[in-house]
A and B are shown apart, each in its own frame.
Chain A
Amino acid sequence: MRNLFLFITKYFAVILFVLLEMWSGWLIVNESDYHNSSFNNTALSMRGSVEEWYSDMRLYFRLRRVNDSLASENARLRALLPDAYMIQSDSAKVVLDSLQHPAFKFLMARVVSNTFTNQNNYLIINKGKDFGIQSGWGVVVNNGIVGVVKDVSDHYSTVLSLLHNKTKVSVRVNKSNFVSMTWKGMNASYAEIDDIAKHVPLKKGDTVFTSSETWFYPPGYMVGRVEKFELNEGSNFYSVKVKLSTDFANMNYVYVVNPLMRAEVDSLKAKTKSDE
């Protein structure tokens, strides 16, 4: 017993070191696991409010850039207004009717916390249950996609960033079928596509869009541009490097996408499944 006691006092620092390292290891395993990485409600609210005051401050210095991006977005949206179109054929008539049902709604939110240097990145935005946000909704900015809502607390939500090892976004390039885009964790500006078939014509600068297969994002939403592509040896697929159009280092406001039609589609899908 006395020897044990002496041993412990002599090697106390070593034992403590080993114990603390084991604790860290346990934390690493828990954090890196996709399914366990959820933030609990209180911790999320706490972190949200701590980071919000700081992001308030930081935002102030970025107002000019924010204004610029809002102005350019306004210009783009103005171009979509009915007034911006001119009817050139006299046989065509514009009839406003109830045929067009909105499929997506956009909800503005502020980014209070954002990481982009890890292997698995998350954002926290300042809207939550109080605005009806639900897990699984997409998040976009005016010129690109950001991620998918993961956990929702009363006033905040966490967003699984596009910059995450488990990311898989269904996209389209030119006339390709739906292909999936992944992020391999190197650079916040680039993502990869590995399954574009050989016959699809590709060139540098081609735009990558979200496909209509995903209900996270509106279809046809810009994701990025083709930066580099090469045919894998002995394979029929291109591997493509995509320059993301989202600027993850400068993100202040995002839009949460409310997919109005998703419940309908999901219930149809469930029905097909039960018929099988």
Chain B
Amino acid sequence: MFELTDDQRALVEVSRDFAAEFLAPDALEWDRTKHFPVDVLAKAGGLGMGGMYVREDVGGSGLSRLDAALIIEALAAGCPTVASYISIHNMVAWMIDRYGSQEQRERFLPELCEMTVLGSYCLTEPGAGSDAAALTTRAVRDGEEYVLDGVKQFISGAGASGVYIVMARTGDAASGASGITAFLVERDAAGLSFGPNEAKMGWNAQPTRPVILEGVRVPVTHRLGGEGQGFRIAMSGLNGGRINIGASSLGGAQSALDRTLQYMSERTAFGKRLDQFQALQFSVADMVTELEAARLLLWRAADALDRKAPDAVRWCAMAKRLATDTGFAVANQALQLHGGYGYLAEYGIEKLVRDLRVHQILEGTNEIMKMVIARDVIGR
């Protein structure tokens, strides 16, 4: 499992070329202007990046989780923000493929796989983040429809996306995780609106908005899975999401490291190239080692998910925790090694630090990852 197959090398090569041609040249501009490059996403969809592990009968690419992790890492070398959005979109597409009816799959997945329609995942609420099972968005059955009311917070792609997977409470207020149901809501649904695009530290190349549901009527045929299954569906989607966010951190950090090596070979101080100072060499050695260690754990976790291993949830949590912490630390150290230039927007390093910071928070905070890991090894 330490050698990539010919197919995997080819997938990485095309993803890396795509990132170098279509993401990297504009990444700083998108960050500055808060531009969401939907045209580039449609190009990515044309290559098969919209439904990487969706089955092929509805336009998916039928790849493994490990393949997807390699692809996301390669894309993140061009722009982690866009790579991470692609991860979220794939999580949405996979949830429909895995839990949707054949009718839902045929209706939603062809366009999601092409990324001509984008997807958003709506779990978090203003008052329910890590404690997601405390969500209060209501879904009340009314004949052949449900009526949804509530607010979702921090929703990536909101406003631009065409399909929203919304987790809402169909049980009573005390029903906890078992009272939650997942729904497919389309952008043009009456009563669906979006809050302002949040001003944020990084991740500027994708919109983050509140999603507001006011009496949104969703046909029963757009319920994803059965009543009460929503929380389980939401959590199972996050396993792959965690792998991919970790992969995105690795790609961004690798790019920061590569640029740092280049910079250190050109910059001189005290009569020597920076890469000839042992103290700085040791710093580089640690960055390389820790990044590779995180990558190994990530591949291991992706493999566990592909094999549907019983402890895959723990592997995904461990990989997400390590890859996102390491990715941020490596990018931050790359900034330090660039000195004052690292702090300038022009060099692109400070953007990577800002973009990777949020990976320690979303798809389950790294504190929640530790809860998941501890629960698995200690028991409840």
Task: Report if A and B associate in a common complex.
Answer: no
Interface residues, chain B, CB within 8 Å of chain A? none
Binding site for B on A (CB under 8 A): none
